[in-house]
Amino acid sequence: MEIDPSKLKLDGYSVIELAHKQVYVVQDFLERGTCTNIVREIHNVMKAMPQRKLHKGGFFSFDVLPVGTESQRIFRSIEYKEGESYQLSESVDLLCNLMKQFQMKWLTGNISCHHSQYARRLQITHYPRGGGFFDWHEHPRFPVNYGMIVNLSQNGENYHHGATEIETDGGKIIRTEEFCNIGDLILFRYDLRHRVGPCDPENDLIFDTNGRWTSIMPIY
């Protein structure tokens, strides 16, 4: 199931095609104010939690160059499994529902994760200023098909360097932040190599509401 930009545009989306059938940006997927509310709320949830802790149906992880991982990283992340009650704000609920509806309609052929071998998760990740990053990695293409990344922070305001970088089939590296803003949705074929480059590595490492915040929705 390939993305058809013309059909997305007919459905009211504004789409930029960065690499044919491989990388796209859907503009204004989520309102800026909603993104800001989500970052503020999730930051407050994270800073009150110990490492690797279940919370209201979610799982929190604080990774600073962890041992034994295939790809090095510095980030903190919280994820919520579909069907579990996590009792967060309307803003987080809206984000989850928008991503799920888009994924099921346009990317996965209405795949159901209830009572099956699959589990869909909403994951919100913070790459802090001072060097937050996620090194090169890749995934099997299916069942996700196309990865989804919602930008919850603004390049040039919350951070100045660091981007999701995707390597196309032809070997071209696309730095997606050159083409998108807060609230935009990045779509990329899920088996392409990708990484998050270091976020403002010249700064002190500070875990606050600045830095790069994103939301994804993997299916395991």
Distances 80 to 111, 120, 184, 219 between C-alpha atoms, Å: 18, 9, 21, 12
Query: For residues 26 and 14, is the Cβ–Cβ distance under 8 A?
Result: yes
d(CA 53, CA 60): 5
Domain 5-216, classified CATH 2.20.25.90, yes or no: no
d(CA 99, CA 109): 14
d(CA 95, CA 9): 20
pLDDT digits (tens, 9 = 90+) for 123-162: 999 999 999 999 999 999 999 999 999 999 999 999 999 9
Domain ranges of the chain: 5-216
pLDDT reported for residue 1:
82
Residue found by looking up tokens 């800026």 in the block? 32
- Confidence tier at 119 by pLDDT (50, 70, 90): confident
